């Protein structure tokens, strides 16, 4: 019963996985595993049937001669899927890390560039403001001189 329940759960999970947007390689690996499972599952069911009938020696022989080697082969294909998924995840993480580093660098450069522009604008505004203040002061002084001269 546990075997049936786990098998059903596995099939539902695989079906859900196939409904996602899989790469061709991943879909191909799942298909290869499915082909191996077609041979293994009936043999596993036969072992269960033999055990239920009390024919444990026949069940053990079938398990050792056929089921175990085929199950090992099917598990190898699951391991290939896992390895492929792990490699894909590593590649995605490497890409994300590179993107983060580029974004971090660009943000730093933008901050520096923005700061430099702000400093340059501040200097220009300060110079122009100082020029206008000096011009106003000079005009004021000139007017005072003119007023003093005319007053004399």
pLDDT 10s digits, 102-132? 999 999 999 999 999 999 999 999 999 999 9
Average pLDDT, the chain: 86
d(CA 14, CA 142): 92
Give every CB contact of residue 62 below 8 A, 6+ residues apart in sequence: 43, 46, 47, 50
d(CA 137, CA 93): 64
d(CA 92, CA 30): 21
The domain ranges of the chain are 2-151
pLDDT tens-digit series, residues 59-103: 999 989 988 888 788 788 778 888 888 998 999 999 999 999 999
| Angstrom distances, CA of residue 79 to CA of 41, 76, 88, 118, 127 | 18, 5, 14, 57, 71
Could you tell me if 136 and 144 are in contact, meaning their C-beta atoms sit under 8 angstroms apart? no
């Amino acid at each position: 019963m546990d075997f049936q329940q786990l098998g059903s759960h596995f099939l539902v999970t695989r079906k859900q996985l196939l409904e996602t947007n899989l790469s061709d390689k991943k879909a191909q690996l799942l298909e290869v595993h499915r082909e191996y499972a077609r041979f293994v599952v009936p043999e596993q069911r036969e072992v269960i049937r033999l055990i239920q009938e009390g024919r444990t020696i026949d069940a053990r022989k079938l398990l050792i001669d056929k089921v175990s080697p085929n199950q090992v082969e099917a598990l190898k294909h699951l391991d290939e899927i896992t390895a492929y998924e792990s490699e894909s995840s590593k590649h995605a993480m490497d890409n994300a890390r590179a993107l983060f580093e580029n974004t971090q660098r660009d943000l730093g450069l933008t901050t520096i560039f923005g700061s430099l522009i702000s400093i340059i604008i501040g200097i220009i505004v300060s110079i122009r403001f100082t020029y206008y203040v000096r011009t106003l002061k000079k005009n004021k002084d000139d007017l005072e001189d003119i007023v003093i001269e005319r007053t004399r």
